[in-house]
Amino acid sequence: MITNPARELYSNMDIDKLKPAKEETKGLLSKRNSMSMPNDASSQPAFRVAQHMLIYRQQREMLKNG
């Protein structure tokens, strides 16, 4: 049976509660991670997709509200 996962995947993306990604400071006195890989959510691909979705969602709401 061919199933369409789009409905479940879209519903599971809870982007309304998404926190904006923290911008890293790049000053000389800023804290540096000893590990090369960052440990926050922004490194996850689903988080980055959600960030893009959030932009489109906000644009849609702007169109709806006029």
Partner 1 sequence: MDEPLFDAPIPGQGLTHELGGRPWQSPPQYSTVDEAVDYYTSRLSTPEATSQIIDILKMGIPVTSLANTIQMSSIMDGKHSIDVGMLVLPLIVEVIMYIAEQEGIDYDDGLTDVKDNKTNAVILENIRTQMKEKAGEPTEEKPVVEEQVEEPTGLMARRA
Residues near partner 1 (CB under 8 A) are: 4-7, 9-11, 13, 45-46, 48-50, 52-53, 56-57, 59-60, 63-64
Structure tokens at 1: 């049976």
Q: Residue 2 or 29: which CB sits closer to partner 1? A: 2
Residues 6+ apart with CB under 8 A from 51: 18, 21
> Tokens 């995947």 — which residue?
9
Residue 23 CB, nearest approach to partner 1 (Å): 18
Residue 58 CB, nearest approach to partner 1 (Å): 10
Q: Residue 1 or 63: which CB sits closer to partner 1? A: 63
The alpha helices in 1-66, defined as continuous H runs, are 6-12, 45-65
